[in-house]
Amino acid sequence: MGIHERFWLVILIAAPLAVIAAELPIARPGCPDKCGNVNIPYPFGTREGCYHDQNFYISCNHTYGLPLAFIQDSELNVTDITLEGRMQIMQFIAHDCYNKSGHPIYDNNPWLRVGLNGSYTISDTENKFVAVGCDTYAWVEGFQGNNTYATGCRTECDSIDYVTNHNCSGIGCCKTSIAKGTNYFIVTVKSFSNHTRVWNFNPCSYGFVVEESKFDFTPDDLRRLQKVNKLPMVLDWSIRDVNDACGESIKDNACQGNSSCVRVDNDRYRCKCLEGFEGNPYLPGGCQDINECLNPNILNECKGMICTNTIGSYNCSCYEGYHHVEISGKEVCVANQQYDWKRILIPVGIGGLALLLVVGTWLSWGYNKWKLIKLRQKFFMQNGGLMLQQQLSNHEGSAETTKIFTAEELEKATNNFDESEIIGQGGYGTVYKGTLRDGRIVAIKKSRIIDQSQNEQFINEVVILSQINHRNVVKLLGCCLEIEVPLLVYEFITNGTLHHHIHNKRQASSLTWEIRLRIAAETAGVLSYLHSAASTPVIHRDIKSTNILLDDSYTAKVSDFGISRLISQDQAGLSTVVQGTIGYLDPEYLHTSQLTEKSDVYSFGVVLLELLIGESVLSFDRAEEERNLSMYFLSAIKDNCLGKILDGSIVNEANIEQLNEVADLARKCLSVKGEERPTMKEVAMELEGLRMMTKHPWVNELRDAEEVEYLLGETSDKSGHDFDASGSMTVVSNTFPSQVELAIRNGR
Ligand SMILES: *[C@@H]1O[C@H](CO)[C@@H](O)[C@H](O)[C@H]1NC(C)=O
Ligand SMILES: *[C@@H]1O[C@H](CO)[C@@H](O)[C@H](O)[C@H]1NC(C)=O
Ligand SMILES: *[C@@H]1O[C@H](CO)[C@@H](O)[C@H](O)[C@H]1NC(C)=O
Ligand SMILES: *[C@@H]1O[C@H](CO)[C@@H](O)[C@H](O)[C@H]1NC(C)=O
Ligand SMILES: *[C@@H]1O[C@H](CO)[C@@H](O)[C@H](O)[C@H]1NC(C)=O
Ligand SMILES: *[C@@H]1O[C@H](CO)[C@@H](O)[C@H](O)[C@H]1NC(C)=O
Ligand SMILES: *[C@@H]1O[C@H](CO)[C@@H](O)[C@H](O)[C@H]1NC(C)=O
Ligand SMILES: *[C@@H]1O[C@H](CO)[C@@H](O)[C@H](O)[C@H]1NC(C)=O
Ligand SMILES: *[C@@H]1O[C@H](CO)[C@@H](O)[C@H](O)[C@H]1NC(C)=O
């Protein structure tokens, strides 16, 4: 597998791998890592041998429906623990409640003392002390080790009407901060007049320490909190070490490999995975290297380069043949043998001021040129140039026939992509006519949008066409990758599309039956060649009259291999995204998404109908069930009135039998079941057989001398020219027409 393919593969599999990477063990081996919904990472544990010390014991109580985690043996349930030293618990709130006549009915003073030996403190950054009520004063007494302090607030109001929503600003609600390092507190709430004046809307005073972001005060709380028992609160945790935390002396350092010790204060510390590692730093082997190359942001940073994961870091390096250059702080890859900064800058240092002026001019010219080269290289890479180069070199012999054009050359050829040079436009993009310096006239296809899928189609087309060498296939001369959108350069086919000739009344009449039959036979020959004879079988997938071009002598040239597929032997019945053109699309393929050669047979059948009937593939002029040309045709066959629908300009007495045979062939091609359709080889043989029966002397007028010889059977070697690798066609050319038919029949 090549570097570039691997690069794409990484993108495809990045998402699932990232999930796997996140599933490193967090608990000691054999210890539960969850209690209900709560992760229990070591140093925490739910039973002896699973936690670091008694401080980190979590009791997991299964008597409730869902197991609940409690901090040590308290009634405070733990709802979240992170390895960054944060623990969320549910803490009681203080109530002071009265009945309507001012008699106290409920009063409590919750307290919290956490960490037997100071492993926990109340987070001063995430919590606030809050008092709620309209006849309320409340305070919290805190302990920082042996030092005590008290803080609190007072809130009074006469009516609920001016209590503000979402705003704990003193009316109905007040708040104050908690001191850093508090490990023990008691909350007290009191009222001034036993809530008698405000009882209607506020029967209690409340006080609590709460995670600030989880408490949004609303006037309803004045009553509602009476029913609420606990609110979330955040603790900071760390490991206590009475001897100098993180110092040299400690033997019992809990921090394991690839992690570092972080001092919280003199006698407490936490552990942290080193940069570039993730996992649980308290477990042996818990910190594992992060594969940064699976991270889409990093991949983006390494765009156009190879991302290599290293232990603890990563590395963006250039593809072979390119080297790093730093430009205004950004690393970019530049092809070797391009402008070398040192070679430009050293003369500046040596030379005098005058020289500097000259060199400066040269430098800016060089820089601009270099910038352009760099931009073109960027597009070259973006357009999959490397992928293409590699693909082409995999298929030896094709590289020299497919030329890579420069942007400049094609701009000159098309008069800078002048609108007057446009000869076709479609969903894929625009086709320009151009004249190369050597005088050759070419068609240049410029795709419309630049997105990845478009690029793949583009490369697909180049790779497929570079392997096909057939006189009835439009020849790809080369491509250009140096501008924003990729360009393909084809031989110029002079006479437009088959579709144009069939559906343009004036031109349809010059398309005699003999010419139509030849176009059909040539197209069938190409498909037969693609399916069986090309070095790797190819399914065209988009056979239609607009993709069959005609030259001045009405020779068919099949084009547009944008969605074609190379099929290796073991891929028969390839499953793909259904693509194609409505009206030509094989109904079985549409239904099953199984791509086989028989899909091309179906599409070819529709082209045969167009040649026979001369009507559009989809027409709203026809009855609803006959809008589709194949339906129209099949119902005419059923009603035995084929004669009525055939294109008037091709029906004459001499060929009625041929028309019937071709119609019958089309009917078989349009079979609903793929397996009932003939192969393209059989179709090609039958059409070729029919052509040879034509006796009109002027049929050969349009053919070149070589093919006249072929019909006379004088040069059997040359007769195989059309179908280079299709051995069976050689047999046909040496056989009499009657035997041809026989051969076909036996073949089925
Ligand atoms: C807490 O400290 C006491 C004495 O200072 C000691 O006996 C006890 O083992 C310590 N507990 C933990 C869990 O470290
Ligand atoms: C679980 O909780 C119930 C009710 O609070 C209590 O009675 C029981 O002792 C607890 N069990 C454990 C193992 O802590
Ligand atoms: C906390 O525990 C109590 C029982 O003690 C339970 O009713 C409540 O749902 C728990 N809360 C959470 C958030 O787990
Ligand atoms: C309030 O409680 C006191 C003492 O329990 C009682 O005498 C009084 O009737 C109660 N008032 C109301 C309105 O319930
Ligand atoms: C208010 O409550 C206190 C006890 O909290 C009680 O001693 C006092 O008598 C009450 N006052 C009224 C007017 O009920
Ligand atoms: C707290 O008080 C105890 C006993 O009064 C004493 O042993 C200890 O050293 C004090 N701690 C601090 C941090 O002052
Ligand atoms: C909260 O109240 C204060 C003072 O009344 C006011 O300045 C602030 O805009 C209010 N904030 C919100 C979110 O209502
Ligand atoms: C550090 O991480 C690397 C890569 O994940 C691993 O191979 C190595 O064993 C780790 N070292 C320790 C001491 O765990
Ligand atoms: C990055 O990778 C390249 C190629 O593997 C190597 O030459 C270079 O030394 C690496 N740089 C660092 C910083 O690891």
Among 14-18, 237-241, 739-743, top mean pLDDT goes to 237-241
Q: How far apart are CA 545 and CA 531, in angstroms?
A: 19
pLDDT band at 302 (very low <50, low <70, confident <90, very high): confident
Contact 529, 578 (CB under 8 A): no
Distance 224 CA to ligand 5 centre (A): 23
Distance 77 CA to ligand 3 centre (A): 6
> What dotted CATH number matches 385-491?
3.30.200.20
Instruction: Locate all alpha helices (DSSP H) within 509-570, ordered by sequence.
Output: 513-528
Burial of 281 (0-12, 13-18, 19+ CB in 10 A): buried
Residues with Cβ within 8 Å of residue 228, at least 6 apart in sequence: 93
pLDDT band at 1 (very low <50, low <70, confident <90, very high): very low
- Report, as an integer, the average pLDDT of 603-614: 90
Question: How high is the pLDDT of residue 743?
Answer: 28
- Does residue 189 or residue 487 have the better pLDDT? 189
pLDDT band at 222 (very low <50, low <70, confident <90, very high): very high
**Coil, helix or strand at residue 343:** helix
Which positions are annotated as active-site residues?
542
Pick from 605, 501, 483, 517: nearest CA to 550: 501
Domain residue ranges of the chain, discontinuous segments joined by +: 3-19+295-363, 31-84, 86-237, 385-491, 498-730
pLDDT band at 713 (very low <50, low <70, confident <90, very high): very low
pLDDT band at 535 (very low <50, low <70, confident <90, very high): low
Q: How far apart are CA 655 and CA 696, in angstroms?
A: 10
- Report, as an integer, the average pLDDT of 451-464: 66
pLDDT band at 719 (very low <50, low <70, confident <90, very high): very low
Atom from ligand 8 closest to the CA of residue 258: 1
Choose one of 57, 58, 61 to mutate for the ligand 2 pocket test, by most ligand atoms within 8 angstroms of C-beta: 61
- Does residue 626 or residue 378 have the better pLDDT? 626
- What percentage of the chain exceeds 90 in pLDDT? 27
Q: How far apart are CA 78 and CA 462, in angstroms?
A: 62
Distance 140 CA to ligand 6 centre (A): 22
Nearest-CA residue for ligand 2 atom 7 is 63
Choose one of 292, 293, 315 to mutate for the ligand 9 pocket test, by most ligand atoms within 8 angstroms of C-beta: 315
Q: How far apart are CA 463 and CA 448, in angstroms?
A: 20
Question: How high is the pLDDT of residue 455?
Answer: 64
Helix count (H) and strand count (E) of the chain?
21, 38
pLDDT band at 523 (very low <50, low <70, confident <90, very high): very high
pLDDT band at 384 (very low <50, low <70, confident <90, very high): low
- Is 57 a residue whose pLDDT tops 60? yes
Choose the weakest-confidence range: 40-49, 206-215, 553-562. 553-562
- What percentage of the chain exceeds 70 in pLDDT? 76
Choose the weakest-confidence range: 133-147, 307-321, 391-405. 391-405
pLDDT band at 199 (very low <50, low <70, confident <90, very high): very high
Token pair in block for residue 434: 């151009």
Choose one of 311, 313, 314 to mutate for the ligand 8 pocket test, by most ligand atoms within 8 angstroms of C-beta: 311
Count of C-beta atoms within a 10 Å radius of residue 318: 18
Nearest-CA residue for ligand 1 atom 11 is 117
Q: How far apart are CA 301 and CA 313, in angstroms?
A: 14
pLDDT band at 601 (very low <50, low <70, confident <90, very high): very high
- Is 332 a residue whose pLDDT tops 90? no
- Is 398 a residue whose pLDDT tops 50? no
Q: How far apart are CA 688 and CA 681, in angstroms?
A: 10
Question: How high is the pLDDT of residue 469?
Answer: 79
Q: Is 446 annotated as a binding residue?
A: yes
Nearest-CA residue for ligand 9 atom 14 is 315
Distance 13 CA to ligand 8 centre (A): 24
pLDDT band at 732 (very low <50, low <70, confident <90, very high): very low
pLDDT band at 209 (very low <50, low <70, confident <90, very high): very high
Choose the weakest-confidence range: 269-283, 357-371, 502-516. 357-371
Nearest-CA residue for ligand 9 atom 11 is 315
Q: How far apart are CA 605 and CA 588, in angstroms?
A: 14
Among 98-107, 246-255, 425-434, top mean pLDDT goes to 98-107
Question: How high is the pLDDT of residue 237?
Answer: 93
Atom from ligand 8 closest to the CA of residue 288: 5
Question: How high is the pLDDT of residue 740?
Answer: 28
Question: How high is the pLDDT of residue 109?
Answer: 87
pLDDT band at 69 (very low <50, low <70, confident <90, very high): very high
Q: Do domains 385-491 and 498-730 have the same CATH topology?
A: no
- Is 153 a residue whose pLDDT tops 80? yes
- Is 723 a residue whose pLDDT tops 70? no
- Is 420 a residue whose pLDDT tops 80? yes
Q: Is 510 in the pocket of ligand 1 (CB under 6 A)?
A: no
Instruction: State which fold the 498-730 domain adopts.
Output: Transferase(Phosphotransferase); domain 1 (1.10.510)
Q: How far apart are CA 266 and CA 242, in angstroms?
A: 8
pTM tops 0.85, yes or no: no
Question: How high is the pLDDT of residue 267?
Answer: 81
- Is 17 a residue whose pLDDT tops 70? no
